[in-house]
Chain A
Amino acid sequence: MKNTEKTNLAERNPVEDIDQIVRRHNVNRGATIPILQDIQNTFGYVATEALTRVSDLTGISESELYSIVTFYSQFRLQPSGKNIIRVCHGTACHLAGADKITESVMHETGAKAGETSEDGLFTVEKVACLGCCSLAPVVTVNDETLARVTPDKARALVIESRDAEKEKTGCKGECQHGKPAV
């Protein structure tokens, strides 16, 4: 499970990155959405400061850019957690119990759907169909797709990746999540 690639903003100049993205796309008509998508891919989210810069460069008003970013569900205005857990809520997954999976993930991470957990480790999202309907219910963790997930498996998944994280950071905090992974 790879963590989402995030750019360390301190190490590079975000304005330069944005300028480059806009320059790369500006030759095409109607490139607003690809520009915003590239910004999100680079930084993990679309910061309001980024919108200001794009507006300066393209002449598209900030309010219009904001209206686009809020219209499409793909865009995130806040940074995401270290791991993004997406629970598919397509029809087949719904019939196969996606609600229970989301609940179990939310319960274990402590984050509501669309939000990030307090420890910053997990962002939980409900998504429309991922197109793996015959293998429902489906969950993706970062770039990995998992098929035929059960609430148990989903919980174990969270615990597992939290433990892996703890091992990496050497956290020895009083952890309340000591329930055994199944």
Chain B
Amino acid sequence: MGNLPYKVRVGLGTCGIAAGAQKTYNAIVPLLEAQGITPEKVGCMGMCYNEPLVEVIAPDGQSYVYGSVTPDEVETIIEQHIVGGTAVQDLLVLSPVGDTDDQPFMAKQHRMLLEHLGKINPESIDSYLEVGGYDATKKALSMTPEEVIAEVEQSGLRGRGGAGFPTHLKWKFTRQYEGEQKHIVCNADEGDPGAFMDRSVLESNPHGVLEGMLIAGYAIGATEGYIYCRAEYPLAIRNLHLAIAQATERGFMGKNILDSGFDFSIQIREGAGAFVCGEETALLMSIEGKRGMPRFRPPFPAEKGLFDRPTCINNVETLANIPCIISKGSAAYNTLGTETSKGTKVFALAGKVNRGGLVEVPMGLTVNEIVFGDLDLCQYDHKLFKAVQTGGPSGGCIPAALGDTPVDYDSLKAIGAIMGSGGMLIMDDETCMVDVARFFLSFTCEESCGKCTFCRTGTKKMLEILERITEGKGKESDIDLLEELGKKVIAGSLCGLGQTAPNPVLTTIKYFRDEYMAHVTDKCCPAKQCKALIRYEILPEACVACGLCKKQCPVNAISGERKTPHVIDPEACIRCGLCVNSCKFNSIVVTTGAPEPALQ
């Protein structure tokens, strides 16, 4: 039965590997070899919730995607589908007929930037060339730099790092400053916890980013590029190194690229774990080998950047959009989106959703449309939907009541949130908004570089207040104090970190003040998350005294003889929740607020 013209792809992005894709791959290789097929290693297609993913492409070109494939299931797929010719219906997540539950997740997206993700082998330049890779470079090099900038201007592309500054303006400014050597820097320090689109793009389509940098370099007159990538993304760094070596070998990088007379080279710098280095001036300091402390602007990096030379800093997603725009033309891009926010945007959906992963949709769709509604990308029961946080620790939360807000730069800004890099964290009734605010602030407080007093001390004071509230020791005046301090931190900070750090606190107070009040006045946590305000109790009528919880308890807080209902000692209990997970009879409950009068 050898030489069947089936093709098989296995997704080996970081999330795939975390879900066990390497084991699946290892299992599939020998079995496929017996059929004369070599599986292709591809990156992440964005369906992270269904990893490990295996795609089978039938001889007629039809694609069948299998999800959550364990090594044991590999054999079934090969036996039934590749040898037998019938798809394994139970494991299918995407089929050509379109009859699976997961179909809308892919079908309703508009994939331009993510088009090749999960389709090409990120370790092979040939795989990228097959789908038209480096065509944009050829086209751009046949244009003048001014024409390239004009094309980007036409597209309406705005920086995808968060602030949404028009990309063509950055390029124009950097181009106009005199300098023997200019630099283009790719900001791949995706520090927002909850955002992972840059990781995915770098891992799964590194050449796309390199091409974007090359074109940007050509447009602004830079011959040297730097990619500043977080060290937490080892696979992205590895694939980038490989891609640079391959591109150089094929003449897409180095001296006199494609006989155009243009020279361009790229170096990779690994970040060393500092969130503030996502801020452009801090990032430059870090590349220069110093502490990543932001500095005052002006002069802007376009005038005096890396090593005091004119420098343009663009985000990964911004740069990855460039090849699309150049090869397909700005018209294909600017017809999507809204008046002021053009094109598509990639969002990383995570949190309390059934379908977490990467989605790409045109700008301007509403929150509701993305989360459930028309697109229903998350497959989410909207009765529980409470809020969505955009922009990570710098962003704000959008309550369910404002779910009709269009997701574009300006509409989000108007309600106190920001687009940010595109992380979308969905929260439900089990999420405590005060705890979320505390979480974000503890992050920004820890990551503050300490240069500006308000950011250094102000965030610390705000954090102390929030901790007090979550511990049930808050006062009503604390909420006003938080608002006051928050506004001062925004006003008194030099860089984006401090200027946006209070956003999560301010927006949660704005939209969920009642939850704050419940913590302060009733000493209760409605979401039952704040440890100091909750208790674990065993319902005597439901307890069968099996002793499982007692065994699980790490602090021996549960007592009870055989055949008598067990009891939790609230003093000893550390509220780890292990007992709840272990109880098979749902007899352990979490309560909050003042103890019931009956217990007195």
The reply to whether A128 and B443 form a contact with Cβ atoms under 8 Å apart is: yes
CA distance A97 to B275 in the complex (A): 22
Q: Which residues of A contact B392 (CB under 8 A)?
A: 91
Q: Which residues of B contact A31 (CB under 8 A)?
A: 289
The reply to whether A145 and B18 form a contact with Cβ atoms under 8 Å apart is: yes
Contact A73:B576 (CB < 8 A) given known A67-B291, A68-B290, A131-B232: no
The reply to whether B289 and A71 form a contact with Cβ atoms under 8 Å apart is: no
The answer to the question of A37 belonging to the interface, with a C-beta cut-off of 8 Å to chain B, is yes
Contact A30:B289 (CB < 8 A) given known A74-B273, A92-B194, A104-B578: yes
The reply to whether B356 and A134 form a contact with Cβ atoms under 8 Å apart is: yes
B195, B233, B307, B581: the one contacting A151 at CB < 8 Å is B581
The reply to whether A94 and B350 form a contact with Cβ atoms under 8 Å apart is: no
B18, B270, B577: the one contacting A147 at CB < 8 Å is B18
The reply to whether A92 and B350 form a contact with Cβ atoms under 8 Å apart is: yes
The answer to the question of A152 belonging to the interface, with a C-beta cut-off of 8 Å to chain B, is yes
The answer to the question of A157 belonging to the interface, with a C-beta cut-off of 8 Å to chain B, is no
The reply to whether B193 and A90 form a contact with Cβ atoms under 8 Å apart is: yes
CA distance A40 to B192 in the complex (A): 25
B49, B193, B581: the one contacting A150 at CB < 8 Å is B581
The reply to whether B554 and A129 form a contact with Cβ atoms under 8 Å apart is: no
Q: Which of A116-130 contact B (CB under 8 A)?
A: 127-130
Contact A134:B286 (CB < 8 A) given known A103-B574, A151-B576: no
Q: Which residues of A contact B574 (CB under 8 A)?
A: 103
Q: Output the least CB separation between B62 and chain A (Å).
A: 27
The reply to whether A128 and B270 form a contact with Cβ atoms under 8 Å apart is: no
Q: Output the least CB separation between A55 and chain B (Å).
A: 13
Contact A135:B272 (CB < 8 A) given known A91-B350, A127-B232, A129-B193: no
Q: Which of A20-75 contact B (CB under 8 A)?
A: 28-34, 36-37, 67-68, 71-75
Interface string of A83-120 (1 = CB under 8 A from B): 00000011111110100100110011000000000000
The reply to whether B233 and A134 form a contact with Cβ atoms under 8 Å apart is: no
The answer to the question of B208 belonging to the interface, with a C-beta cut-off of 8 Å to chain A, is no
Binds A, one of B127-135, B336-344, B407-415, B423-431: B423-431
> How many residues of chain A are within 8 Å of chain B by beta carbon?
50
CA distance A151 to B582 in the complex (A): 11
Interface string of B432-456 (1 = CB under 8 A from A): 0000100110010001010000000
Contact A152:B578 (CB < 8 A) given known A73-B273, A128-B193: yes
Q: Which residues of B contact A151 (CB under 8 A)?
A: 576-578, 581
Contact A132:B15 (CB < 8 A) given known A91-B350, A92-B356: yes
The answer to the question of A18 belonging to the interface, with a C-beta cut-off of 8 Å to chain B, is no
The answer to the question of B51 belonging to the interface, with a C-beta cut-off of 8 Å to chain A, is yes
A30, A127, A133, A147: the one contacting B350 at CB < 8 Å is A133
The reply to whether A91 and B351 form a contact with Cβ atoms under 8 Å apart is: yes
Closest to A92 in B: B350
Q: Output the least CB separation between A27 and chain B (Å).
A: 12
Q: Output the least CB separation between B98 and chain A (Å).
A: 23
The reply to whether A130 and B232 form a contact with Cβ atoms under 8 Å apart is: yes
CA distance A37 to B232 in the complex (A): 13
Q: Which of B489-514 contact A (CB under 8 A)?
A: none
Q: Which residues of B contact A30 (CB under 8 A)?
A: 287-290, 307
Q: Output the least CB separation between B102 and chain A (Å).
A: 13
Closest to A127 in B: B232
Q: Which of B518-561 contact A (CB under 8 A)?
A: 551-552, 554
A73, A97, A100, A131: the one contacting B190 at CB < 8 Å is A131
Closest to B285 in A: A30
The answer to the question of B517 belonging to the interface, with a C-beta cut-off of 8 Å to chain A, is no
The reply to whether B194 and A72 form a contact with Cβ atoms under 8 Å apart is: no
Q: Which residues of B contact A155 (CB under 8 A)?
A: 554
A95, A104, A132: the one contacting B576 at CB < 8 Å is A104
The reply to whether A135 and B18 form a contact with Cβ atoms under 8 Å apart is: yes
A37, A91, A180: the one contacting B194 at CB < 8 Å is A91
The reply to whether A131 and B199 form a contact with Cβ atoms under 8 Å apart is: yes
Q: Which residues of A contact B190 (CB under 8 A)?
A: 131
The answer to the question of A138 belonging to the interface, with a C-beta cut-off of 8 Å to chain B, is yes
Interface string of B348-366 (1 = CB under 8 A from A): 1111100011000000000
The reply to whether B289 and A100 form a contact with Cβ atoms under 8 Å apart is: no
Closest to B270 in A: A37
Q: Output the least CB separation between B569 and chain A (Å).
A: 17
Could you list 22 examples of A-B contacts with CB < 8 Å? A29-B289, A30-B289, A32-B289, A33-B272, A74-B272, A89-B193, A90-B194, A91-B389, A92-B350, A128-B193, A128-B232, A129-B191, A129-B193, A129-B195, A131-B190, A135-B49, A136-B356, A146-B18, A147-B15, A150-B581, A151-B577, A182-B552
List B residues at the A interface (Cβ < 8 Å): 14-15, 17-20, 48-49, 51, 190-196, 199, 231-233, 267, 269-275, 286-292, 307, 348-352, 356-357, 389, 392-393, 423, 425, 427, 431, 436, 439-440, 443, 447, 449, 551-552, 554, 574, 576-578, 581-582
Q: A31-B289, A92-B194, A129-B194 are in contact. List 11 more A-B contacts (CB 8 A).
A: A29-B307, A33-B270, A71-B291, A75-B272, A128-B232, A133-B194, A133-B348, A134-B349, A135-B15, A145-B14, A147-B15
User: Closest 5 interchain pairs by CB?
Assistant: A134-B356, A32-B289, A90-B193, A134-B48, A72-B272
